[in-house]
Amino acid sequence: MDRLEGRVAVVTGAASGIGLALADALSLAGAHVVLADIEQDALDNAVRRMRSAGRHAIGVRADVSSRADVQSLADTTLAEFGAVHILCNNAGVESGGPFGDIPLTTWEWVMDVNFWGVVHGCRTFLPLLRAQAEGYIVNTASMSALSADTPTMAPYACSKFAVLALSECLDAELRAAEEPIGVSVLMPGLVHTQILDAERNRPNSVPASDDNPARQAWRAAMSAAMQDRGLAPTAVAEQVLDAIRANRFFVLPHATQAVSAVHRRLSRMTDDDVIPRT
């Protein structure tokens, strides 16, 4: 998709972080943008700022774990703009703890938002993209889908592995059918976002994990690393737009670390005589 001007883009998790940067970048490129988020005040502020700059944007409060909310998001988009060309399934949350201590409700919340949110988005919007001359889907996964060796993050890592697999399968099917719909999977590492504070939006059924010593240590380490070498969301967004224009599947803001993570997995697979000798 080499032209973004005049296209209609839907971005979930768009009130902050990477999602907000994506919405900004798309609107600056001339797209009409629908921002979706579960945080109403932040969403209103983002839309107000974009409109005051003369850009075409609307906000829709949506919980992507709800199929009905995602359908309502699609309906509102069509009512406002009449079409959809780009879908960015970006909304995500993080929670966890030592594996044996993680409640089932935490697993369900993280998977519902991070994985089922992408499933709902793709299933709902794919028919709308097919109605256009071309379309594009960007699914936000994570470097955790390449190297899940970080303690206390099992639900998040599992959800992002699933997003990568979904994206690869969907891309393969669309390419095999020669459909004019591209797919990219965004796999960022450390980025200056509010992901460490994702539990601010947790349902009442999901307990906070802040009182767990292992989680406290993880948060401290991640916060320090983010401050030390985290990327700006705007830099990530520009890479996504480049991938959309070039129809490039992998978006790797931390490319060196991503490739190293894959190499570590390959080395582990070939260690200890895993491959039979002939």
User: For residue 36, what is the enclosing H or E element?
Assistant: strand 32-37
Residue 156 a catalytic site member: yes
Number of Cβ atoms within 10 Å of the Cβ of 127 = 10
| Dist CA 214 CA 99 (whole Å) | 11
Phi first, then psi, for residue 12 (nearest 5°) are -95, 160
Identified catalytic residue from 109, 116, 125, 156: 156
SS3 of 14-76: the string is CCCHHHHHHHHHHHHCCCEEEEEECCHHHHHHHHHHHHHCCCCEEEEECCCCCHHHHHHHHHH
| Dist CA 278 CA 274 (whole Å) | 12
CB 139 within 8 A of CB 183: yes
Do β-strands 135-140 and 181-186 pair in parallel, antiparallel, or remain unpaired?
A: parallel
CA proximity to 64, closest of 114, 18, 17, 16: 114
Report the catalytic residues.
Answer: 156
